[in-house]
Chain A
């Protein structure tokens, strides 16, 4: 709803226009929003029909409601559901989960579509057979928590999709917790369960099989339970405050009688000519719908007739939003999902007050620290590599040096060899020249002698 829409607004008229101007100027001056001004209408406009339009649309759409029942076996959960909705959800052909013995806690859903006065209600009952029945019941609440979370997750995914035409609302709107009528107080199991689930779902504690208790015992028991609930800071479903006198009286009456002591029955008995639902004992008939016998009617009226929509709203606005903010804030920059701590009371339960912004700040700091660390590491690596390279270069330098020396040596050796050869060659040359000279000499001598002989004339 935009700020500009006024409550009394209708067809703009001169007076209204002036007033609007005044308000605008006021807003511009102060920068604040002035309270909406109530205007009196001067005729019948017709928007009083709005609720009817909403009603017609809703009726066409139909309603959905998911109810979860939790409690030890034998406390009359199935019977109570049958009594509440006056149908046999669990009948002899389809026996309730309590008739089947379970070894571990299961979570079972049954859907039923009921119609009344043209209004459709798609009712989903989530049952938890096996809860609290084993010898060792640690973590028997875990399947329940997982189920609720998975329904929230489904809705979150459906909400984040591109095509949001079909968004079935399967979230658990209300959890009826059945307390055994011991007459003393809550059991440790009850306290543990409620502590873990009061932030996820609307819990309505009920005293089961209340015809076990006399009225005084019942009062005592209720007081004891409420005290323990307050001591452990368990937040059960709170009825909203209304301005209406009538309604607030009713609400106060309900609040005084919390937790509600209920009796359920599948059988109809005749009492004083009337047919009522009740339980027949040798000493009398305990009527289910009699306000003096038990609080069943209060529960039914509250659950179905007056507060069903509020339960859905609280689930949507409070529990679902809690879940959503926790889930989305847990996803870090890298898209790594930090939702690893399931099953324990995670630290998110204690840091609820921190806004997403602060959480992001923290994550940023974390990220920066990580970066710094990485940088340092990289520098170290770099230095190491540099050292290595220097070393390598040095090595190759010495290698080259060595080779150089070797080559020089080779060269000198060759040089020497050549010198040697040259010397030899010189020697040979010298000797050869000597020989040639000698030969020349001889030739000369020979020719001289020949000449001499010639001269002597005796040439043949």
Chain B
């Protein structure tokens, strides 16, 4: 992960207007140099090393979290598929279960970790639901911090930090529940939250529209900044793109791992007596949008925001608490990074 870091630091400087007189504007190259092959080199490198992505799914049981994750990554990656126990009882406290998979596509390897939280919001008294989750996220930051601050650092620090937390909203059709608001308020500061309306085939088109408006209003009212956060938009291009996405969030999705024949095609969907809900049909649900957004365009950005912003916030807090010293038992290590914040 640390090798990819230099790259985003270059990004702001490229489109920004040069303020320094030393940089000459638009100096013409007198021949082909080959600077643009750096992209190819990077690509080769990343393909070799592969990269990892950690996604956490949070929501009440029965909202289709495992199914959706399976659908997103088109393979059986959820907790339910890898465990033997089909009939699982609702656990008494919130547990954190992480399942690792390596999936490959087009020569690119991805080490995917799906972190599930069974028991969230299922008890009668749900006041302490957020605590185990917050603890887990902070633990991952702590692990990374310890590795980073080591004298003999590893070449590639294994990144177990949670890059993205998908929060599943129950499709009541009315508004957010108090538990949803509580959770998102606490955790939007520590991790990227992507709210998702689960099982959206419950609602008709008008109901969906109304519900989304209401949810967005409530999120705004409670000051919940979900990903992509407005404050981290780096330039106009990003802002325009992200604005469009923000308008459409939270995505109303349907997940399925079964295929059915519709009009001669085989599609993923849910068969009901009155029709087949197609998962990838944009008229039926917004799963396609979510997948494109999450995987095809913003995957890297998620990781960057996690590393540059959430992790740095955590790090600054920890080091400040410790009086500027890193939290290891090595008394000789010095402060190696200046805090950017």
Contacts and interface: CB of A to CB of B under 8 A. Distances in A.
Contacts of A375: none
B225 to A, nearest CB: 21
A241 B62 CA distance: 35
Interface in B215-268: none
A101 B124 contact: no
B123 interface: yes
Interface stretch (B3-11, B168-176, B291-299, B323-331): B168-176
Interface string A109-148: 0000000000000000000000001111110000000000
A189 B124 contact: yes
Give the size category of A's interface with B: 35 or more
A215 interface: yes
A280 B204 contact: yes
A187 B174 CA distance: 21
Contacts of B174: 73-74, 98-99
Nearest to B211: A74
Contacts of A187: 61, 90, 122
B124 A188 contact: yes
B27 interface: no
A293 B182 CA distance: 37
B178 interface: yes
Contacts of A182: 60-63
Interface string A158-196: 000000000000000000000011111101110010000
B117 to A, nearest CB: 15
B107 interface: no
A180 B284 CA distance: 22
A137 B123 CA distance: 8
Do most interface residues of chain A lie in helix, strand or loop, or is the interface mixed? loop
Nearest to A132: B124
B146 interface: no
Contacts of A284: 272, 274-275
B320 interface: no
B284 A293 contact: no
Interface stretch (A28-36, A206-214, A322-330, A426-434): A206-214
Contact of A292 (B173, B273, B276): B273
Given A137-B124, A187-B90, A293 B274 contact: yes
A260 interface: no
B62 A183 contact: yes
Which of A75, A133, A135, A292 has the most C-beta atoms of chain B within 10 angstroms of its own C-beta?
Answer: A135
A136 B62 contact: no
A215 B273 contact: yes
Nearest to B276: A283
Contact of B125 (A138, A279, A285): A138
Contacts of A214: 270-272
A286 interface: yes
A283 B285 CA distance: 11
A188 B90 contact: yes
Nearest to B126: A135
Interface of A: 72-76, 98-99, 101, 133-138, 180-185, 187-189, 192, 209, 211-212, 214-215, 279-287, 290, 292-293
Lowest 9 A-B CB distances belong to which pairs?
A182-B62, A74-B172, A284-B275, A283-B275, A284-B274, A136-B125, A184-B62, A212-B202, A74-B174
Given A184-B61, A209-B202, 12 more contacts: A72-B172, A75-B172, A137-B124, A180-B62, A188-B123, A212-B202, A281-B205, A281-B275, A283-B274, A283-B275, A283-B276, A292-B273
